[in-house]
Structure 1
């Protein structure tokens, strides 16, 4: 799954089977706040949200940023995958 950072819209995007899954964010200083994750109903239950969230967290880590998981989905994902606690603001 290819994930792009659409900086103009402040969101990460993944086109999966012609459907757009997104993770919205805001960036302030060196902290990226994840505010919303949305996966189309057609893709529900296929792990798209988890794969997208993991890709976003890898992107945050590679850029040397910290993440503030305001989105319940992202927070739950990090709780289940504690290796990401290192980058939580």
Structure 2
């Protein structure tokens, strides 16, 4: 979920896999999500529930981040707030 002052979007990806070699860590995922590139956004809060033996390709994390940022940008441009969307 990506949330701003008046906009919120949620994206979904593939289910996590069971790690064969080395599980992914929360720190690795957070580090990848904090890299916002040439955007006007920054990650200020991060939480995740992750099993100790979970694996997700970092490419999948990057893809979800791109999708969330694009959806968030569309919502911001549309000018509709979260409350307006809930009543629509």
Higher relative contact order (CA 8 A, sep 6+): 2
Q: TM-score normalised to the size of structure 1?
A: 0.28
The structure with the largest alpha-carbon Rg is 2
More strand by share: 1
